């Protein structure tokens, strides 16, 4: 089983011809609302692929919370651990997309900031029952640390996507990551190597304590560096026509967690995840773009 512990948001998107400057108002397209948040996206990706998947997250008792729950229901996620906090607002991401597809985003964490260490310890049995727990950094840092601590006690494998990327990653998190899943931007930031290749970044992150590392490289695919002695494995990308890359990294990580939970080795899991990520960019949106196992074939 896969347990995702993380954020759940409503993504509110408007396209504009030009970004407003300070004090300025511009008109945009009709508002588009989608379920999002890294945790919810990863859970949707894993569940859609057929893995038994649960999401531990917190939403408010508002319409956006319902939207998050609907998205997970559609994907087939176990919802017992999605906590609804009365009087809280569901997290929202307000996304302004400019003419070149460039995003400017404001996130209001809302109920995500109320997902507390005690919520994780309450779900200890779910952690213990899972082969893999998948974490990101859109919830309070002490909650992520609690998840790592519980996973350490229950012997559950930790997949960690350190996003949004912190200036310094807590060593306890880095040392639990098996793998640390980073995109190019996160790899450069956390390895401290601005230059170099993906293999250099992966080796540097392992040297800093990560048990294993996967670097995602957009259209170029990914690179996997396992803890077993050996060289990094480059997984080539799949050539597709990209329509919308929103949530591609979350599709990748959800798919990776699914395969690792099924017992695959890291390179095999990365090969699978690269295919899932590629399908996700050929369709609009994050969660609605995620494939089932049949679609992948």
Q: Please, which residues have CB within 8 angstroms of residue 66's CB and are 6 or more apart in sequence?
A: none
Length of the chain: 297
Q: For ligand ADP, which is the closer residue by CB, 148 or 181?
A: 181
Report if residue 221 touches ligand ADP, rule: CB under 6 A: yes
DSSP code per residue over 60-92? ESSHHHHHHHHHHHHHT-B-TTEEEETTPPPEE
Please report whether residue 288 would count as binding ligand ADP according to CB under 6 A: no
Just list the catalytic residues. Answer: 250
In sequence order, what DSSP letters do the residues of 222-259 get, joined into one string?
EEEE-SSSS--EEEPPPP---S--TTHHHHHHHHHHHH
Read off φ and ψ for residue 188, nearest 5 degrees: -65, -45
What lies within 8 Å, CB to CB, of 125 at 6+ separation is: none
Q: Residue 9, annotated ligand binder? A: yes
**Site for ligand ADP (CB under 6 A): which residue of 274, 287, 289, 291?**
274
Q: Is 296 in the site for ligand ADP (CB under 6 A)?
A: no
Q: Residue 150, interface with ligand ADP (CB under 6 A)?
A: no
Q: How near is the Cβ of 84 to ligand ADP at its closest, in Å?
A: 28
Q: Considering beta carbons, is residue 64 or 290 the nearer one to ligand ADP?
A: 290
250 is an annotated ligand-binding site residue: yes
Q: Write the binding mask 231 to 250 for ligand ADP: x where contact by CB under 6 A, - elsewhere.
A: ------xx-x-x--x--xx-
Strand 2-5 relative to strand 53-60, pairing: parallel
Does 59 interact with ligand ADP (rule: CB under 6 A)? no
- Least Cβ distance, residue 21 to ligand ADP (angstroms): 27
Measuring CA to CA, how many Å separate 34 from each of 112, 234, 287, 289?
17, 33, 8, 11
Within positions 181 to 220, which residues make up the interface with ligand ADP, using CB under 6 A? 183, 216-219
Query: Would you count residue 257 as binding ligand ADP (CB under 6 A)?
Result: no
What is the separation, in whole angstroms, between the first and last Cα of the chain?
A: 22
138 is in an annotated binding site: yes
Residue among 55 and 281 whose Cβ is closer to ligand ADP: 281
**Which single residue is written with the structure tokens 């200036």?**
167
Asked whether position 284 contacts ligand ADP by CB under 6 A, the answer is no
| H/E element, 12 | strand 9-15
Is residue 113 part of an annotated ligand binding site?
no
Q: Binding residues for ligand ADP, per CB under 6 A? A: 183, 216-219, 221-222, 237-238, 240, 242, 245, 248-249, 252, 274, 277-278, 281
Q: Which residues are annotated as a binding site for K(+)?
A: 244, 246, 280, 283, 285, 289
């Amino acid at each position: 089983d896969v347990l995702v512990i993380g954020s759940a948001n409503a993504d509110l998107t408007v396209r504009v011809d030009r970004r407003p400057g300070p004090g300025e108002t511009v008109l945009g397209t009709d508002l588009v609302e989608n379920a999002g948040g890294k945790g919810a996206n990863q859970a949707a990706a894993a569940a859609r692929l057929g893995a038994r998947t649960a999401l531990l997250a917190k939403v408010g008792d508002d319409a956006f919370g319902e939207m998050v729950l609907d998205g997970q229901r559609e994907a087939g996620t176990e919802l017992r651990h999605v906590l609804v906090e009365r009087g809280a607002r569901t997290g929202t991401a307000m996304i302004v997309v400019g003419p070149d597809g460039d995003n400017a985003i404001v996130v209001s964490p809302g109920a995500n900031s109320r997902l507390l260490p005690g919520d994780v310890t309450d779900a200890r049995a779910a952690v213990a029952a899972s082969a893999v727990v998948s974490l990101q950094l859109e919830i309070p840092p002490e909650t992520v640390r609690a998840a790592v601590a519980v996973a350490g006690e229950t012997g559950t494998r930790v997949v960690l996507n350190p996003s949004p990327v912190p200036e310094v990653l807590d060593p306890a998190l880095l040392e639990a990551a098996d793998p640390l899943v980073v995109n190019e931007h996160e790899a450069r930031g956390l390895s401290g190597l601005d230059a170099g290749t993906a293999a250099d970044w992966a080796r540097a992150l392992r040297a800093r304590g990560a048990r294993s590392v996967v670097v995602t490289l957009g259209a170029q695919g990914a690179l996997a560096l396992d803890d077993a002695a050996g060289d990094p494995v480059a997984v080539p990308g799949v050539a597709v026509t990209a329509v919308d890359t929103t949530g591609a990294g979350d599709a990748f990580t959800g798919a990776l967690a699914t395969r690792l939970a099924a017992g695959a080795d890291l390179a095999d899991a990365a090969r699978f995840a690269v295919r899932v990520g590629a399908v996700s960019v050929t369709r609009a949106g994050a969660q609605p773009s995620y494939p089932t196992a049949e679609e992948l074939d």
